[in-house]
Amino acid sequence: MNAHAPLFTPHWHAELELGYARVGDASRPVLRRHKGPLRVQKHLYAEGPEVCQHIIVHPPGGIAGGDRLDIDATVGTAAWAQLTSPGAAKWYRAAAPAFQRLRLRVEAGATLEWLPQETIVYCAAQAELSTGIELEGDARLFYWDITALGRPAANERFDAGHFQTRLEIRREGTLLWHERQRVVGGDGLLDSPIGLDGQPVFATLIASGEIDAELLERCRELPGRVRGDLTQLPGLLVGRCLAREALHARAWLIELWRLLRPELLGREAVPPRIWST
């Protein structure tokens, strides 16, 4: 064997395209196209026909170097889709970058809840994620993400590799939110008080709409094992937190969702059963 021959690293290119439409009094999946190891389980109606819940599954269980995941979802006029995941997404140690591209489109009168479980980025992973969300008219959005750098329970710090993300939210083509971040393994910001302050987990919540000062204060006073806060911007509510463990960040986000969903989306919060398994 030639010692200088390039190593072959198998990789997956997976694609998932979803579409939802309002049919009578129900939100129905009208498009489900996939390529490679990316699927949705059977659609569920835990809250009745108005809210269609799908669980996005990546059967390999983790993302390795060279892998690419492309997810597109369109929620049609007046439909309501709630998308979540069965467990943590794992980005493994790799010699080459892996990629995820997420494109979400929400038409006028429609609602999208994007509520995945946490993303775990192993030490020496090279994870690059890009998310674009387009809102039309009075479309409503409730979005969160949770990221854990390294595996604290295994005494693994994020000392090598990188984690890179880009998030853009637009309404009728007008940019509402633009965020880019790049965290390099071993960087001083991991422990700096102006960075992650030694906390390996961080989470973001972004919801369309505005709430009154009383509800905002109730959200800020929620007990929890995180350091977090919320900010009301014109048309967007933004929450951030730092935590020692992903489950603490997820618990904080779920409690915020319980408080905010009735006000912003007009429905009581019914946690998906998959969150309890």
The residue extents of the domains of the chain are 13-276
CB count in 10 Å sphere of residue 169? 22
- pLDDT at residue number 48: 96
Q: Which residue is listed with tokens 């009745």? A: 48
> What's the whole-model pTM score?
0.94
Nearest-angstrom CA–CA distance, 253 and 259: 10
Say if CB 125 and CB 96 are below 8 A apart: no
Backbone angles phi, psi at 136, to 5 degrees: -115, 140
Model confidence pLDDT, tens digit, residues 40-50: 989 999 999 99
Eight-state DSSP code of residue 245: S
Nearest-angstrom CA–CA distance, 269 and 258: 5
For the chain, what percent of residues have pLDDT higher than 70? Answer: 96
- pLDDT at residue number 2: 40
The residue type at 67: D
Confidence of residue 154 (pLDDT cuts 50, 70, 90): confident
Does the pLDDT value for residue 6 go beyond 70?
Answer: no
Nearest-angstrom CA–CA distance, 86 and 217: 32
Burial (Cβ within 10 Å: 0-12, 13-18, ≥19) of residue 146: buried
